[in-house]
Amino acid sequence: MTDSKYFTTTKKGEIFELKAELNSDKKEKKKEAVKKVIASMTVGKDVSALFPDVVNCMQTDNLELKKLVYLYLMNYAKSQPDMAIMAVNTFVKDCEDPNPLIRALAVRTMGCIRVDKITEYLCEPLRKCLKDEDPYVRKTAAVCVAKLHDINAQLVEDQGFLDTLKDLISDSNPMVVANAVAALSEIAESHPSSNLLDLNPQSINKLLTALNECTEWGQIFILDCLANYMPKDDREAQSICERVTPRLSHANSAVVLSAVKVLMKFMEMLSKDLDYYGTLLKKLAPPLVTLLSAEPELQYVALRNINLIVQKRPEILKHEMKVFFVKYNDPIYVKLEKLDIMIRLASQANIAQVLAELKEYATEVDVDFVRKAVRAIGRCAIKVEQSAERCVSTLLDLIQTKVNYVVQEAIVVIKDIFRKYPNKYESVIATLCENLDSLDEPEARAAMIWIVGEYAERIDNADELLESFLEGFHDESTQVQLQLLTAIVKLFLKKPTETQELVQQVLSLATQDSDNPDLRDRGYIYWRLLSTDPVAAKEVVLAEKPLISEETDLIEPTLLDELICYIGTLASVYHKPPSAFVEGSRGVVHKSLPPRTGSSESAESPEAAPSAGQAAEQPAVIPAQGDLLGDLLNLDLGPPVSGPPLAASSVQMGAVDLLGGGLDSLMGGGGGFAAPGPAVPASMGAPLGSGLGDLFDLTGGVGTLSGSYVAPKSVWLPAMKAKGLEISGTFSRQVGSISMDLVLTNKALQVMSDFAIQFNRNSFGLAPAAPLQVHAPLAPNQSVEISLPLNTVGSVMKMDPLNNLQVAVKNNIDVFYFSTLYPLHILFVEDGKMERQMFLATWKDIPNENEAQFQIKDCSLSADAVSSKLQGSNIFTIAKRNVEGQDMLYQSLKLTNGIWVLAELRIQPNNPTFTVRPLPLAVPVPLACPGAGRTVPVGSPLQQRGGSRGGAERSQPPEVPWLSRGARCSPLSLSPSSLTFWGAGGERRC
């Protein structure tokens, strides 16, 4: 007796018969009847007409019958909503049953009945079940919340079920936790905005604990949930990784891959120098290899993911080439994926093996696979230069087999090899030409024609060959037609005498007899070029072509990073972000890899849009203006080579700190500009004023000033944030003009063009003086250097920090924004030398509040050297005195907006610590800059107390007659607003 008997009643009155049986008094008969109904249902027959009769069987003690009725209800309730209400009472009653199995079954089935009216009745039983004493019921109820949410989200929120569900994450039973996480994840996926899975270190800890105890499926949900968490630092990331690693040994491949995802993502945060980083890399390889011994379907998904992993971190699997070798009875989809990964892993070390394998594959039976294998040989040649020669000879061997599709495929890839290594392997052309007649695929024909055109001067009968193609011109595909047109024009330019007729023929075919606009346009362009200026035509048509590189088939880095976050999901199989295929893509949140917190790559952090190299480390919170001023002055005169020991100890006040930076690099002895740059950052906390410091870094020779300091270029706009456009740059000032030196790098896979730049309003009115000139479109992996002249006549708006500059760059892809800090010294004008008398008078008038003081340590230059170095950056020495063995330098500088800054620099011989004292600013009354009144910066009144090495006593200003007021300075005119402006600085007084 088997269930197949249920299928046998196909008589006319089947439904009627079943109806009678369902209403029978005999239990056994009823059950048989319900079974028949279910059987019909499984094969897609419509038995909804029996609804009332089946529901009548629901009230029973027989669990099997009850389950069967429930199965039926789930399928048909939706089509009979009014009838479904009849079942509600039984459900509610069952939810009170002493048997947990029945309670769970009731709540589970009720959730599956997708009828609005029923949901109202569901709330109370569900609430009870969520708090049920039996974990089996609780875990079933957790899933039920997700079901209900799918039907009526508002109801779930109003009833507070979400909170209850969140509480279940802390449940004592791991299965309940896993189901709660799964339910929450599903709800969160449909409502990305709701912050449901509020992950914090505590909840993460709970999840990690549950991870060890719950079922394999629960582990998958928990791991996927963990992957969405962003650890706050590398230590937390490491500790999570440590607890996740054991999952790599799980027998369930989905668990393994989810664990790999978590590790790949969090690894991003670990410093590469860490021992643990290396250990982790090693641990990742074996589980990935093991996935490849599973069933072919699992292998396929694993391979698609490995493809991503190999592109992101090739080091993980670089020694595992052999596991990707193809077995002849692998399904074709596995073979093709393996081949792809073999090429990605190919390197000089293993190329011989790879080639031998590929050659073997090229003799297999499956045409698709053979083609791809041949293509792979070509890609190896392009990827591993040393192997090119062997690849070419392998391809030639394959051409000798005369297997049609192999030959065609080989010719296509040989064309690519020619483009990568021009003028190296033309000797093979003869062999290729022998196979001309067998080519019937457009791509192969086009490739062959390209080769003939490109090397026309070396092929004696090139004209004949091309002519033979020309006969059937109109039957060819567009690809071939275009190629043929170009090839003949090339030929004509190379051998004009004998091919004039041919070129005229093709031009007329292309322009007069063709309906294809592309072809026609190309034809006309050539025609006109040739008729007006053959020399220009030669330059255009025979121009040197950019070499192709292996990267063309790689996934774009930004997309790759996103896909890495989706390892193990459908996105990773499609190699597309979920937004590209998820139904309706209801606001799918883009995921991104966490930034590395370790030392090496911090400059990439997107927030920092630093001006000078040093500023890269700068925190987002930036000093009040007082500090900035101080900044300007805080000359850090450390000897540049020894590394800048302006350590925290020397820092008496915040301002110093902020400003101190960088100056030391300026003072660089003989080193020249650039060298000290990288050494600097470590020394200073937050070197805002770096720019100034940089000034000192002029070549050692006194008086041989070659312009002001230029900071090394730093990355302003990382490629990740700008669809592949990377911008780095710096600012410089040369003979009175300011310029922004930019390097634009195209890291995307498409050509960029139409660049333009714009600045937001800023504190000093900086604006581009000329449009951004990028002459040629920027090809992938190409970069271009541009010097953009700036002026200071733009509109003014106070920025915070003061030297912040917001920039918008446009190209054909999009508009990108970034902000950067420019060093203030680019704003010091050449006529910043104040009259001596004027200086004296001004110095006295500057109020105390405007004063600041800093020390610069470990700078062993003499007063004269300092003076001349500073002059190079337009900071002029007005007077020099020697008091009690100390050199005092009095200096002035003027900003582009007319603000004056006066400073005193005290140098003690034999003490490498310089003290910079009152640093006030003064504004000569009305000046060119319209915004001057609002932006008057004034030295903040920071008093130095008890300096570390400079000594507190000595930091008092010496009694100088002409500074009788204690060396206080005042601006000539100071608006009230400017005082408040600097108020913040005043509060920093120690």
Partner 1 sequence: MIHSLFLINASGDIFLEKHWKSAVSRSVCDYFFEAQERASEAENVPPVIPTPHHCLLSVYRHKIFFVAVIQSEVPPLFVIEFLHRVVDTFQDYFGVCSEVMIKDNVVVVYEVLEEMLDNGFPLATESNILKELIKPPTILRTVVNTITGSTNVGDQLPTGQLSVVPWRRTGVKYTNNEAYFDVIEEIDAIIDKSGSTITAEIQGVIDACVKLTGMPDLTLSFMNPRLLDDVSFHPCVRFKRWESERILSFIPPDGNFRLLSYHVSAQNLVAIPVYVKHNISFRDSSSLGRFEITVGPKQTMGKTIEGVMVTSQMPKGVLNMSLTPSQGTHIFDPVTKLLSWDVGKINPQKLPSLKGSMNLQAGTSKPDENPTINLQFKIQQLAISGLKVNRLDMYGEKYKPFKGIKYMTKAGKFQVRT
The distance of closest approach from Cβ of residue 658 to partner 1 in the complex, given in angstroms and rounded to an integer, is: 47
CB of 674 to partner 1, least distance (A): 48
574 binds partner 1 (CB under 8 A): yes
Return the residues of window 849-878 that contact partner 1 according to CB under 8 A: none
Residues 496, 542: Cα–Cα separation, whole Å: 14
Quote the least distance from Cβ 182 to partner 1, whole Å: 5
Name the strands in the sheet holding 804-810, side by side, starting at the edge strand that comes first in the sequence.
756-759, 804-810, 815-821
Find the binder of partner 1 among 19, 78, 371, 575 (CB under 8 A): 78
Q: Which two tokens stand for residue 692?
A: 């100034």
> What separation in angstroms does the CA of 543 have from each of 415, 444, 450, 451, 538?
17, 23, 14, 15, 7
217 counts as binding partner 1 under rule CB under 8 A: yes
In DSSP notation, 482-508 reads: HHHHHHHHHHHHHSTTTTHHHHHHHHH
* 801 upstream amide cis, omega within 30 of 0: yes
Spell out the residues 6+ positions from residue 572 whose beta carbon is closer than 8 angstroms to its own. 304, 305, 308, 563, 566
Give the burial class of 643: count Cβ atoms within 10 A of its Cβ; 0-12 exposed, 13-18 middle, 19 or more buried.
middle
Among residues 93 and 528, whose Cβ is nearest to partner 1?
93
Comparison of 359 and 495: residue with beta carbon closer to partner 1: 359
Nearer to partner 1, 418 or 566 (CB): 566
Binding to partner 1, residues 3-32 (CB under 8 A):
3-4, 6-7, 27-28, 31
Of 647, 564, 671, the closest CA to residue 857 belongs to: 647
- Residue 345: C-alpha distances to residues 293, 337, 340, 930 (Å): 19, 13, 9, 62
Phi-psi region at 253: left, alpha or beta (left = phi > 0; alpha = psi -120 to 50): alpha
Position 896, amino acid: T
In the list 133, 295, 437, 987, the residue contacting partner 1 (rule: CB under 8 A) is 295
48 counts as binding partner 1 under rule CB under 8 A? no
User: Of 579-638, which residues contact partner 1 (CB under 8 A)?
Assistant: 581-583
Least separation in angstroms between residue 139's CB and partner 1 is 8
Collapsed DSSP state (helix, strand, coil) of residue 732: strand
Span from 110-118, 466-474, 529-537, 827-835 in contact with partner 1 (CB under 8 A): 110-118
Q: How far apart are CA 879 and CA 655, in angstroms?
A: 26
* 323 touching partner 1, by CB under 8 A: yes
Q: What angle do CA 421, 424, 428 make, to 5 degrees?
A: 110
Among 25, 44, 233, 471, binds partner 1 (CB under 8 A): 44
Q: Is 252 left (phi over 0), alpha (psi -120 to 50) or beta?
A: beta
Q: Interface mask (CB under 8 A) for partner 1, residues 430-459, using x and -?
A: ------------------------------
Per-residue three-class SS string for 926-986: CCCCCCCCCCCCCCCCCCCCCCCCCCCHHHCCCCCHHHCCCCCECCCCCCHHHHHHCHHHH
Among residues 15, 83, 112, 647, the one that binds partner 1 under rule CB under 8 A: 112
495 and 455 Cβ atoms separated by less than 8 Å: no
The residues in 833-852 that bind partner 1, with binding defined as CB under 8 A, are none
175 contributes a contact to partner 1 by CB under 8 A: yes
Residue 395 or 666: the one with the smaller Cβ distance to partner 1 is 395
Q: Residues 336, 324: contact at Cβ < 8 Å?
A: no
DSSP 895: B
CB-wise, 36 or 383, nearer to partner 1?
A: 36
Contact status: 38 vs partner 1 (CB under 8 A) = yes
Contact call for residue 561 and partner 1 (CB under 8 A):
no
**Which listed residue (331, 546, 619, 930) binds partner 1 by CB under 8 A?**
331
* Smaller CB separation from partner 1, 333 or 759: 333
CB of 578 to partner 1, least distance (A): 5
Considering only residues 126 through 145, tell me which ones interact with partner 1, judged by CB under 8 A: 134-136, 140, 143-144
Residue of 160, 201, 246, 926 interacting with partner 1 (CB under 8 A)? 246
**CA-closest candidate to residue 265, choices 244, 279, 282:** 244
Considering only 332, 349, 352, 815, the residue that binds partner 1 (CB under 8 A) is 332
- The amino acid at 335: K
**Is the Cβ of residue 60 or residue 347 nearer to partner 1 in the bound state?**
60
Number of residues that bind partner 1 (CB under 8 A): 107
601: three-class secondary structure by DSSP: coil
Scanning residues 396 to 425, which ones bind partner 1 (CB under 8 A)?
401, 403
Q: What is the 3-state secondary structure (H, E, C) of 411-424?
A: HHHHHHHHHHCCCC
Is residue 306 a contact residue for partner 1 (CB under 8 A)?
A: no
> Which among 714, 725, 627 has a CA at the least distance from the CA of 674?
714
Measured from the CB atom, is 567 or 774 closer to partner 1? 567
Query: Quick one: which of 794, 787, 678, 797 has its CA closest to 742?
Result: 787
Of positions 9, 62, 80, 228, contacts partner 1 by CB under 8 A:
62
DSSP string, 679-694: GSGGG-SS-TTHHHHH
Least distance to partner 1, CB of residue 341, Å: 14
Least distance CB 442 / partner 1 (angstroms): 22
Question: Is residue 286 within the footprint of partner 1 (CB under 8 A)?
Answer: yes
Site for partner 1 in 802-821 (CB under 8 A): none
**Distance of closest approach, residue 249 Cβ to partner 1, in angstroms:** 5
Our CB check for partner 1 shows the closer of 159 and 253 to be 253
CB of 101 to partner 1, least distance (A): 5
Residue 516 CB partners (closer than 8 Å, separation 6+) = 478, 481
Among 620, 619, 616, 569, which Cα is nearest to 591's? Answer: 569
Instruction: Compute the distance between CA of residue 889 and CA of residue 194 in angstroms, rounded to an integer.
Output: 62
Name the one range near partner 1 by CB under 8 A: 178-186, 513-521, 746-754, 775-783: 178-186
**Cβ-based neighbours of 6, under 8 Å, separated by 6 or more:** 35, 36, 38, 39, 40
Tell which one of 430, 536, 570, 883 touches partner 1 (CB under 8 A). Answer: 570
* Nearer to partner 1 (CB atom), residue 63 or residue 682: 63
Task: For residues 82 and 825, give the distance between their C-alpha atoms in angstroms, rounded to a whole number.
Answer: 80
User: Which structure tokens are listed for 835?
Assistant: 């009259």
CB of 422 to partner 1, least distance (A): 32
Q: Which stretch binds partner 1 (CB under 8 A): 46-54, 72-80, 502-510, 596-604?
A: 72-80
Site for partner 1 in 728-747 (CB under 8 A): none
Residue carrying the six token digits 């680019």 = 826
786-805 residues in contact with partner 1 (CB under 8 A) are none
* Binding of residue 57 to partner 1 (CB under 8 A): no
Site string for partner 1, 345-374 (x = CB under 8 A): --------x--xx--x--xxxx--------
Stretch that binds partner 1, among 319-327, 459-467, 607-615, 769-777 (CB under 8 A): 319-327
> With respect to partner 1, which residue has the nearer C-beta, 65 or 413?
65
To partner 1, the closest distance from the beta carbon of 797 in angstroms equals: 45
Of the residues 19, 35, 166, 359, which one makes contact with partner 1 according to CB under 8 A: 35
Residue 953, classified by CB atoms within 10 Å of its CB into exposed (0-12), middle (13-18) or buried (19+), is exposed
Work out which of 13, 46, 49, 64 binds partner 1, going by CB under 8 A: 64
The footprint of partner 1 on residues 247-276 (CB under 8 A) is 249-254, 256-258
Of the residues 96, 120, 163, 213, which one makes contact with partner 1 according to CB under 8 A: 213
